Structure formats: structure tokens, C-alpha cells
Structure 1
């Protein structure tokens, strides 16, 4: 058998105790794969992590209700283990329609990029074509995945009622201690403590992002002291040392995003995966340029060239719709300078993995070694 044909190593699911979160969800390992939005998630990745003993996740915030129904069915067909589906809670003012003149000005700002990549600028109809959150929520609850996770805000009360009735585990995401307390009071079963180290979009909802940038290893013990539900540490965890440290600080489990993004099963483009684990990945910045919401990623040509416009781009989902054609074309053309290279502050540790199972094995073995 050739090296490439050898089966991937599987993690020892007895090496780390499942902890309170693992027992709550029904998984043997205290490891969650971070949910990626914008097409970076894949059924293959989520299923591989769940099959390996962790909790695979899928970010579905851009999906229509019909797509969410089909997605949960595909996940169930791919694994009989628990998995999570994630949605974004809308924030105030984000769904307000922009006047035509304002939208035209934002399109004009990006016109040189559209022309360079040879794509058609989005129309007003393209910008409006965004799934309704309430309809997404209804479809997701009806599909009844084992776990529903949310970012950007607390769960609506009707969601809490329905998940309890159906036996679905509900997870919320906090960037501060106050948000964690608010989520527990709203009725979530567990809280992800997402430190400012984390890649991708920031989920602050009680205060502005700039006032909610608490590092993971400062945030986790404070949240663990403040709430009674299980706490999942997220942000800046890419190897076994980070796993062991988070558990030692009071986390019941860890959520790893960037590391799994580097696995071949993820939906990340080849140009995105290639930069992870390199010296270039040692630097990350917070930017609104790709979606209209603040997110952490590796700076590239577009981020640097457009830095002066950070405060002028429209909010999500308008900016996200305006940038969508550019991101897709850049990934297809192998142009990393236009790709949203989401990554956390431990991205240089996130070596491209041959498989999610192999990476999960490395995480578990590394955590056991680090814990002594």
C-alpha cells in the first residue's frame, strides 16, 4: 500500500476525558471543530471530525431555509454521530436597505477590482437576495440537528422553547464575561468563550468589537467562574499545547477553527490553505472590508490597499454581497490578494493536514503530552 493510500490515524477517544461538554453533547473527545461561514465549511469535514470523536460543525448563515433542510439531511447521511449547525443572529441596522445612490457609490469604489478580476458587479437585487433569519431558524429547528450553535447574539426565546421540547443542545458564543452571563440567562446549554485571538468574524453583541477584544486565555477562566453551564474555549488553539492549556484554565472543551481549516476536507480554497502554517500567517488583522462585519484574517493586497476605507464600507450583508464575486473569482484564479484569508493568531501553527482525522489525532496526542 502506498503512503498516500494508508488510512488516516484515528484519535484515541479514551486519551482525554469528554468533560461536561462532551457528556452534554454525547461525544468522547472535548474537541469542537469551529463552524466556518461563507462556504468554508463542508459536510466532509464536519462528518470526519464527528466520526473521530469530536463535534463537527457547519456554518449555515448564507444558506436558504431549503438549503438548511437539505444540509442537515446530508450531515445525517454522512455520520450517525452528533454534529452542530451554526447560524448568525442579525444585528440592529444590518438589514436596512441602502439608498440606490449609496449602493452605487460602494460599487464604484470596488469597480477597479471587478474589472481586474473580470467579474460583473452585483446589482441591487443581488444585494437584497439574503436569507431571512427567522425562516432559517424555523428550517433548522424543523430539521432538528443534534446541536444548534449561534454567534453574534443571544437566542430568541422561541428557539429556546423549541430546542428544549425537541432535545436539541443549544450553544451560544460570547466574547466577554457579560455576554456569557447573558447567554446563560437566555437559556443556552453551553457557552463558547471566543477570545480575540480567534480567526474569522467577531461575535460581540453587547458592546462594540473594539471594547470586546479579550484574549482567549484571559477570557476562559473568567467565563468559567461566571457561568454554571459548560464552557468551550475558542481562539488561538491550534495544537495540543493549546488544548491542554485551555482545559487547565477551566474550559470543559476547546473549539478549533483555523487548524481544521487547513485540513483537506475543509471548503477553504487552495490559496487559503497554502498560507496557513507559514511565516506569513504570523500576522493577522481585524478588518470589515470583506463582509461589513469585523473579522480576523491574514492581511493581503486588498486589505492593505483598501485600509483607508475600513470605516466607510456598508454593513453586513451588503458589503458581503458586494465582495462575494471578487472572493470567488480570486479563489478560482489563484489570486490570494483578493481572498478573505480568515485565520486566528495561532495560524502559523496550523500546518496543512492530510486529513481532519490526522489533525484530530495530533491534537489529542499533543494535549496528553503537554498535560504530562
Structure 2
């Protein structure tokens, strides 16, 4: 029974666990671990992946007010389909379902017996598929809601604000990739295409020194994540994602370390270039970043149009000098886009012909753009 001064509900956790294990395949053992009181972040002091708890231990900690998370690991069949926007996911295969703290989202629990649905798929705002070392808060947990969040809830749900509760008592169903709602399968197809495109770019890429004509290098390539975001290394602490990107309702979805900004809402990381792509409106967080465990960022730092827009944004916001030399790929894009030369006229080494180069400088001057070149 919960202690009088706690808002967690261990009875709800036990009810969920009993249901979970009743329909679990042989050998399945849920991965529970302890979170902070009233929060979503792991209890400090030990890596959560090394802090697995049995259901008895999980109940012990929840009785003392701590939240409990359940993780789908790489070796178990659990697949959690997290739905944040019911309008974008109007239908889903019936299964054991939990209502999340804002009372408008759902956690759907499945077993991916054939393994095809064991993928992590973040979307912008529809929700996520969490299947490989990702977690959600287990029923019985409690995270406070803001007044604004409570006002958005149906009246019948407001008494349960902040709580994670069972929404039904259905058996836990199995699921395959093809049975996932379309918003997730479409996003996964997009992710795979971006990965293939990035791999092809990497195979074709010639050695890049970052130097422009004349030996000058744009200061764009020297910017780090702190320069562009204003956030320095958080030393292991979780903080809110900068509100200019998408913010955080709980204040614990971002961490900066080793020159990268990690977004735990979308399970991606950002360097200075991908962050600037978000600021410049080129790509959203989940599309610009590099998925955790992935090899490539979603934005192409070799694409002339992308580099030009990022370079212009950085100039206009004082991140690089006004006379910063435009990167060569951006210069070529600008020249072709403005009709100063044709793609077929671009010379070896991604260089403009002399006439095209001269015309490009003149056009830029007329447009009030300092290309940083003579």
C-alpha cells in the first residue's frame, strides 16, 4: 500500500505486472528500474542499465514515492508503441494499454515475437515505437502536470492528472512491423532512405579539408554545440531542450556531453551543424539529428543548398563574421541557383568557371550578401 505522503500507486504497478506476465512468452523477464521521485529521469548514483530491479524491488521503491520505468531491451520481445497524438494514430491493434500522465496519450504493450517490430521509431509528435533499450514510465508512476496541461485534459481525466494507469485489461497481443500504424512505418521508411542516402554520400565523398578557394575556411565549421545553442556540457544532468527547438514539459529531455546535444524525446543527438539546420527551419529535431546507435545525421553537410541556408542563418545571427568566406559547396549552389552558371559548367574540384565566379560575386553584391571573397 502506498505511503500516505506519496502519489505513486504500487497496486497499479502490481496489477500491470500480473497482466504482463500472464501473457508473456516463456523466458520473458521485464526490465524494471528506479526513477527519481516525481520525475522521468533515472535515479542518480548508478547507470540505469546496471540497476535492473525485480518486481518485488520495484514495488519497494514505488512505495517510497519513486517512479518505476519499464524498458524494452535488445534481447527481449517487448515492443512499446507510445501514442502522443490519438488523431494521428486513430487505430492500433488491440492490446494491453496504459494512459500516460497527460491523460491524452497511450502506451500500447506488445510482444514482437517475430522480431520485425523491434525497432526504435521516433516521429515528430505522433509518438514513438520503443523497442530497443528505450523505456516508458510504468503504471503506478506519477509526474506532476502543469496547469496548462491539466486544462487540456477532458474533465473526466483531470482527477488522474500526472498518473500512469491501466486503460484496459486486454491480453498483451503480438505485433509485426506491418501491423504498426502507418505513421510509424512511413517514418521508418523515411529513416532508412536517409541512412541509405548518407551511406552513398559517404562512399562517394572525396577527402574534404574544409578550405575554400584562396585557402580560407569558413568559421561555420569551427562552431560547436555551445556556440549555436548557448548550452554547455551538462555534466550528466538532464535539462530542458531549448524552447526554440521544441522545449520540454518535464524539463528533463536534453543532455550535452562530448560536443553533442542529446534529445531523449526523439532519441537523437545533434552537432552544431544539425542544430543550426533546426534553427534555420531546414529540418525538425527527429529528422536533423543522428539516431542513438546510428551512424549518420539526417542533414547533409555536403549539400550546397543546406550549407548555404545554414551559413546565411549563422551570418544573420552573428555566429560567424559578416565577411566570413562562403563554403565552396554553398557558393556553387548560389551561383547555379542565381543563374550565374550552369551545373554542367562546374569544374573539377567543385569550382566555378572564372566568368561564373565573377558574375556570382556581382549578383551577391547587388543582393547585399557578403560572400567573403574577392
What TM-score does the superposition give when structure 2 sets the normalisation length?
Answer: 0.24
Tell which has more relative contact order, 1 or 2 (C-alpha 8 A, sep 6+). Answer: 1
The higher radius of gyration belongs to 2
